[in-house]
Structure 1
Amino acid sequence: MLKKLLLLVILSGFTLSAQDYFVQKYKPFTAEIPSPETFLGYGIGEHHTRHDLIVAYLKKLAELSDRASIEEYGRTHEGRKLVMLTVTSPKNLNNLNNLREAHLAFTDPIQKVSNYNEVPIFINLAYNVHGNEPSSSEAALLTAYTLVASQNPEILKYLDNAVIFIDPTINPDGRDRHTQWVNTYQGSPEVADPQDAEHNEYWPMGRTNHYWFDLNRDWLLAINPESRGKLKWYHQWYPNVVTDFHEMGTQSTYFFEPMKTNASFDPIMPKENYEDLNTLFGNEFAKSLDSIGSLYFTKEVFDGTYPGYGSSYPDLQGGLGLLFEQASSRGHRQTTAFGEITFAFTIRNQYVSGLTTVKTAVDNKDIMRKYQQDFFKSALTNATKNKVKGYLFGDTHDQNRTKAFIDKLLLHKVEVYRSGNRFAVPTQQPQYRMVQTMFETYEKYRDSVYYDASAWSVANFYNMKYRPVNNLDLGEKISTTQELIKLEPVSKSSYAYIMDWDDYNAPAALYYLQQKGIIASSAAKPFSVRANKDNKSFNYGAVLIPVSLQKVDGTSIHQMITEAQEKFNVPFYAVNTGLSDNGIDLGSGNISPIKQPKAVMLIGNGVRSYEAGEVWHLLDTRVHMPITKVPIRNFNKLNLDKYTSLVMVSGQYNFTKNQIEKIKQWTEKGNTLVTIGSASKWAIDKKIVQEELIAKEKDSTQIADRKPYVDARENIGKESIGGVILKVDLDITHPLSYGYRDNQLPVYKNNSVWLAPSKNPYATVAKYAEDPHIDGFITKKNMAEHIMNSASLIVSKVGKGRAVLFADNPNFRGSWYGTNRLFLNALFLGDKIKVPSQD
Structure 2
Amino acid sequence: MLIRTLPRTLKVGLILAGSVFSLSVQADVRDAQTFYPQDVGFNPTIPTPEAFLGHPLGKRVARNDLMVSYLKLLAEKSDRIQYEVIARSHENRPIVTLTISSPENLARLEDIRAAHLALQKPGNKKAIGQDMPVVSWVNYGVHGSEVSSTDAAMPTAYHLAAATGEQIDRILKDSVILLTASFNPDGNTRESGWNWTFGSEVPMTDGVSAQHGEPWPSGRTNHYWFDLNRQWMLQQHPEPVGWVAKFHQWRPNMVADFHEMHSHKSYYFHPGAPDRVFPLIGKDAMALLSDVVQGPRDFMDSEARLYFNEESYDNFYIGKGATYPHMYGSLGILFEQSSTSGELNTPRGLLSFRDNIRTQYRVGISLLDSAAAKRESLLSFQRKFADATKSLAEDDKTKAYVFSVPGDDARAFHFLELLHRNHIEVKRLARDIKVEGKVFSASNAFVVETDQPTYRMIKGMFERITRFENNTFYDVSGWTMPLAFGVDYAAVTSRSFKTGDTVLPAFPRQPAPAKADVAYVFDWSHYYAPRALYRLLDAGFRPRVTTEPFTTDSDKGKVTLGRGSIMMSVGWQGGAKPDELHSLMSQIAQEDGVPVYAVGTAFTASVGMDLGSNLMLELDQPKVLLVIGEGISQYDAGEVWHLLDKRMQMPVVLLHKDKLSWVRLQDYSHLVMVGGSYSDLADKTVQKIDTWVKDGGTVVGIRDGAKWAGQKLLDLSPVKFNKGKLASAPRIDYANKENAEAQDIIGGAIMAGDLDNTHPLGFGYQRREIASQRNSLLAFEPPKNPFATVVKIADKPLLSGFASPENQQQLAGKAMLVAERKGKGSVILFTDNPNFRAYFYGTEKLFMNSLFFSKAFNKPRA
Please tell me whether the aligned partners of residues 377 and 430 of structure 1 are also in contact (alpha carbons under 8 angstroms). no
Deviation string for 1:669-728 (max 9, x for gaps)?
122110000111112333x113232123599xx985111122223211331222001110
Mean Cα deviation higher: 827-836 or 808-817: 827-836
Corresponding position of 1:296: 307
Corresponding position of 1:808: 832
Deviation string for 1:66-88 (max 9, x for gaps)?
11110000100001100101111
Aligned mate of 1:93, from 97, 102, 106: 106
Q: Secondary structure at the match of 1:99?
A: helix
Corresponding position of 1:325: 336
Aligned residue pairs, count: 825
Aligned mate of 1:519, from 511, 532, 542: 542
State yes or no: 1:268 paired with 2:288. Answer: no
Please tell me whether the aligned partners of residues 671 and 831 of structure 1 are also in contact (alpha carbons under 8 angstroms). no
Matches within 5 A, 1:11-90: 18-90=31-103
Find the aligned partners of 2:9 and 2:405 in 1 and give their Cα distance. 68
Find the aligned partners of 2:686 and 2:496 in 1 and give their Cα distance. 58
State yes or no: 1:401 paired with 2:411. Answer: yes
State yes or no: 1:205 paired with 2:218. Answer: yes
Corresponding position of 2:189: 176
Corresponding position of 1:599: 624
Mean Cα deviation higher: 96-105 or 818-827: 96-105
Cα 1:5/1:94, change in 2 over 3 Å: farther
The letter for the 1-side match of 2:462 is F
Corresponding position of 1:154: 167
Q: Secondary structure at the match of 1:436?
A: helix
Aligned mate of 2:349, from 339, 352, 362: 339
Aligned mate of 2:375, from 365, 370, 380: 365
Cα deviation for residue 110 of structure 1 reads 4.5
State yes or no: 1:635 paired with 2:660. Answer: yes
The letter for the 1-side match of 2:774 is K
Find the aligned partners of 1:249 and 1:15 in 2 and give their Cα distance. 26
Cα 1:62/1:248, change in 2 over 3 Å: same
Please tell me whether the aligned partners of residues 750 and 801 of structure 2 are also in contact (alpha carbons under 8 angstroms). yes
Cα 1:111/1:835, change in 2 over 3 Å: farther
Aligned mate of 2:263, from 234, 237, 250: 250
Cα deviation for residue 338 of structure 1 reads 2.0
Find the aligned partners of 1:117 and 1:646 in 2 and give their Cα distance. 64
Cα 1:175/1:61, change in 2 over 3 Å: same
State yes or no: 1:680 paired with 2:706. Answer: yes
Find the aligned partners of 2:809 and 2:780 in 1 and give their Cα distance. 14
Q: Secondary structure at the match of 1:777?
A: strand
TM norm structure 1: 0.96
Q: Secondary structure at the match of 1:830?
A: coil
Please tell me whether the aligned partners of residues 496 and 545 of structure 1 are also in contact (alpha carbons under 8 angstroms). yes
Find the aligned partners of 1:5 and 1:294 in 2 and give their Cα distance. 8
Aligned mate of 2:719, from 691, 694, 716: 694
Cα deviation for residue 218 of structure 1 reads 0.5
Cα deviation for residue 278 of structure 1 reads 2.4
TM norm structure 2: 0.93
Find the aligned partners of 2:45 and 2:209 in 1 and give their Cα distance. 41
Deviation string for 1:759-818 (max 9, x for gaps)?
110000001112222100111111112x11421101123222111000000000011100
Cα deviation for residue 656 of structure 1 reads 0.8
State yes or no: 1:190 paired with 2:200. Answer: no
Aligned mate of 2:771, from 746, 751, 771: 746
Matches within 5 A, 1:377-456: 377-419=387-429, 420-421=442-443, 422-456=445-479
Corresponding position of 2:697: 671
Cα 1:37/1:772, change in 2 over 3 Å: same
Find the aligned partners of 1:652 and 1:16 in 2 and give their Cα distance. 45
Deviation string for 1:248-268 (max 9, x for gaps)?
11111000111012436x711
Cα 1:371/1:641, change in 2 over 3 Å: same
Cα deviation for residue 39 of structure 1 reads 1.2
The letter for the 1-side match of 2:333 is L
Find the aligned partners of 2:48 and 2:364 in 1 and give their Cα distance. 18
Deviation string for 1:740-767 (max 9, x for gaps)?
0100011110123122111110000001
Find the aligned partners of 2:482 and 2:728 in 1 and give their Cα distance. 45
The letter for the 2-side match of 1:670 is G
Find the aligned partners of 1:808 and 1:614 in 2 and give their Cα distance. 13
Cα 1:108/1:703, change in 2 over 3 Å: closer
Corresponding position of 1:283: 294
Please tell me whether the aligned partners of residues 790 and 817 of structure 2 are also in contact (alpha carbons under 8 angstroms). yes
Cα 1:47/1:472, change in 2 over 3 Å: farther
Cα 1:690/1:68, change in 2 over 3 Å: same
Mean Cα deviation higher: 378-387 or 72-81: 378-387
Corresponding position of 1:564: 588
Q: What residue ranges of structure 2 are gaps of 5+ in the alignment?
A: 11-26, 430-441
Cα 1:248/1:486, change in 2 over 3 Å: closer
The letter for the 2-side match of 1:460 is L
Cα deviation for residue 309 of structure 1 reads 0.8
Find the aligned partners of 1:357 and 1:24 in 2 and give their Cα distance. 15
Cα 1:16/1:35, change in 2 over 3 Å: farther
Please tell me whether the aligned partners of residues 691 and 796 of structure 1 are also in contact (alpha carbons under 8 angstroms). no
Find the aligned partners of 2:828 and 2:288 in 1 and give their Cα distance. 50
Corresponding position of 2:513: 490
Q: Secondary structure at the match of 2:84?
A: strand
Corresponding position of 1:765: 790
Q: Secondary structure at the match of 2:784?
A: coil
Please tell me whether the aligned partners of residues 270 and 375 of structure 1 are also in contact (alpha carbons under 8 angstroms). no
Find the aligned partners of 1:387 and 1:54 in 2 and give their Cα distance. 51
Find the aligned partners of 1:656 and 1:395 in 2 and give their Cα distance. 46
Find the aligned partners of 1:729 and 1:206 in 2 and give their Cα distance. 39
Mean Cα deviation higher: 62-71 or 746-755: 746-755
Mean Cα deviation higher: 126-135 or 341-350: 341-350
Mean Cα deviation higher: 553-562 or 192-201: 553-562
Deviation string for 1:315-338 (max 9, x for gaps)?
111100000110001x21111112
Please tell me whether the aligned partners of residues 5 and 344 of structure 1 are also in contact (alpha carbons under 8 angstroms). no
Identity over the aligned pairs, expressed in percent? Answer: 36
Find the aligned partners of 2:458 and 2:729 in 1 and give their Cα distance. 45
Find the aligned partners of 2:531 and 2:217 in 1 and give their Cα distance. 27
Corresponding position of 2:134: 121
Aligned mate of 1:104, from 98, 114, 117: 117
Cα 1:141/1:715, change in 2 over 3 Å: same
Find the aligned partners of 1:334 and 1:158 in 2 and give their Cα distance. 35
Find the aligned partners of 1:235 and 1:81 in 2 and give their Cα distance. 19
Please tell me whether the aligned partners of residues 19 and 37 of structure 1 are also in contact (alpha carbons under 8 angstroms). no
Please tell me whether the aligned partners of residues 795 and 835 of structure 1 are also in contact (alpha carbons under 8 angstroms). no
Find the aligned partners of 1:259 and 1:226 in 2 and give their Cα distance. 26
Find the aligned partners of 2:275 and 2:222 in 1 and give their Cα distance. 28
Matches within 5 A, 1:604-623: 604-623=629-648
Find the aligned partners of 1:165 and 1:302 in 2 and give their Cα distance. 25
Aligned mate of 1:795, from 804, 819, 826: 819
Cα 1:479/1:8, change in 2 over 3 Å: farther
Q: Secondary structure at the match of 2:231?
A: helix
